[in-house]
Homo-oligomer: A and B are copies of this chain.
Amino acid sequence: MTRVRVNAFTISLDGYGAGPDQSLDHPLGKGGEELHRWVFPTRTFQRVVLGNDDGTTGIDDDFTVRSFDNVGAWILGRNMFAPSRGPWPDDGWKGWWGDDPPYHVPTFVLTHHARDPIEMEGGTTFHFATSGIHDALEQARKAAGDKDVRIGGGVNVIQQYLREGLIDEMHIAIAPAVLGQGERLFDGIDLRSLGYRVHENVTTDLASHVVLRRGEAKPEQGA
């Protein structure tokens, strides 16, 4: 059955999922790159995203492998596709990742501004979903077939799906960094009332990996 997942979403020690002031120079917001030190060096990130042949293995790489595994469609907030806001500018922008983005499956971009799909190399097609998060999810489920739908982010998009109880599993990495400002992933989100419990917890020097699922706790965590 198709699950709806968040994977490899990293927050800072102080809870921020991105730095402030996203721009072309700072796609992750100012200081945001500090969040992702655990994923950049992994063999999987190096191979899948950058096309390189080497990289680290181990726990951080295992979580990176899982993040790409069995994903049949992605949903992204507009900021994860483009730095522009408002009506689409005629600038030829095709996403942050170049001609062959790391998605490799149908990828639904939430936006208020309609536009035609963009077919990229390597299997990624960007669809622009203008009818809200529920409709986007329905489209993504259909596109994913029996695979999962991955909600890529950003913070605001994950929050919207969380509040509607639509996310089945969430892998959060906590990075040993402070951002001070930005968007807090869990602001206004009562994870416990929403039914999320810690299901896995593994740590490395670069991140603390926590997997949350709805209504499922580790036995030792009690009721």
Interface residues of A (CB under 8 A from B): 13-15, 31, 34, 172, 174, 176-181, 184, 186, 189-194, 196-198, 201-205, 208, 210, 212, 221-222
Contact = CB atoms under 8 A, between A and B. Distances in A.
The 5 closest A-B pairs by CB, nearest first: A180-B192, A203-B203, A176-B201, A208-B208, A180-B190
Contacts of A189: 14
State the number of copies, please: 2
A203 B31 CA distance: 23
A14 B198 CA distance: 11
Contact of A31 (B176, B184, B192, B196): B192
Contact of A178 (B34, B179, B191, B208): B191
A172 B176 CA distance: 11
A13 B176 contact: no
Contacts of A208: 174, 176, 203, 208
Residue among A192, A197, A202, A221 with most chain B CB within 10 A: A192
Contacts of A181: 190, 192-193
A176 B14 contact: no
Given A203-B204, A203-B208, A210-B13, A192 B176 contact: no
Contact of A221 (B177, B193, B205, B210): B177
Contact of A212 (B172, B178, B221): B178
Contacts of A192: 31, 178-181
B191 A14 contact: yes
A80 to B, nearest CB: 22
Contacts of A177: 198, 221
A184 to B, nearest CB: 8
A152 to B, nearest CB: 20
Contacts of A196: 178
Contacts of A34: 221-222
A180 B176 contact: no
Contacts of A197: 178
A163 to B, nearest CB: 13
Contacts of A212: 13, 178
